[in-house]
Amino acid sequence: MQFCVGADANETIEVTLRTALVRLGFSLPAFTLDALLPHLITPLLFLGPLYALYLDFSSPLSTTGSFKEVLLSWQGARNYVVAPITEEIVFRACVLAVYNLSGASRAKMIMLAPLSFGVAHAHHAWDTFNRYGRTPAAAKRALLMTLFQLSYTTLFGSFASYLFLRTGSIWPPITAHIFCNVMGIPQLGYEVSKFPQQKRSYVTGILGFVMKIVPWTKTPDSLYWQPRGPAVAY
């Protein structure tokens, strides 16, 4: 028995690879203003914390050294480069592509798929339990911290899922993930107490985010946001 791989087989492999890359959102981004806007929606939401950094002239990384020193460390590369990229590829591109192929609705993909992303961070409970002495108090602290982390990672996962489905690209979720890792959890109480005049920046950022998240993420050719199901020309 002989097997021949001809032009038709090569063409099939090429089309299959191109289709997979499109479904995973790996198409190269266009260098236009419309393509840039989805990357700016997260900084808009963080307008208050960004303004606090400007007023305080400090950084979320100030406790561990300069941004350059931290970024060039193994821990910095993991937290701000490797983790955001790999987690978005797995939990957004791969998971949502499978959900879409199964016929799941966009609402389910945005609300339910991120639960796997949140649960994936639950192992930190064991680290916390060990760090604080493996006592009942340590167990309580680990539980509370894990529930909090599960909540905000799932919430971010829903936002990142929306970005991926809305734009059909993995790049906006990756840049949003990197940005959020750098900024950390906003210290609203501390920042407002220290700079009362910046309350308007928080309100402006939140209102701007609500008003602009739909128009700034509008991508007519998104595979996952078609009005009558996914249809892509190859």
Q: What is the pLDDT of residue 206?
A: 94
Q: What is the pLDDT of residue 229?
A: 45
pLDDT block averages, 10 residues each, the chain of length 234: 54 73 86 91 94 70 54 81 93 93 92 81 74 81 80 91 96 96 81 77 94 94 74 41
In a domain, 221, yes or no: no
Q: What is the pLDDT of residue 7?
A: 58
In a domain, 205, yes or no: yes
Q: What is the pLDDT of residue 199?
A: 83
| Phi, psi (deg, nearest 5) at residue 214 | -75, -55
pTM: 0.82
Q: What is the pLDDT of residue 6?
A: 56
**Known active-site residue 177:** no
Domain of 136 in residue numbering reads as: 7-216
Q: What is the pLDDT of residue 216?
A: 96
- The burial of 99, by beta-carbon neighbours within 10 Å (0-12 exposed, 13-18 middle, 19 or more buried), is given as buried
Q: Which of 11, 39, 69, 121 is catalytic?
A: 121
Cβ of 163: how many Cβ atoms within 10 Å?
29
3-state secondary structure of 233: coil
**Known active-site residue 88:** no
Q: How many domains does the chain have?
A: 1
Q: What is the pLDDT of residue 69?
A: 60
Q: Which of 87, 88, 177, 191 is catalytic?
A: 87
In the structure encoding, which two tokens stand for residue 190, read together? 């501390």
Q: What is the pLDDT of residue 67?
A: 60
Q: Which amino acid, one-letter code, is at 61?
A: L
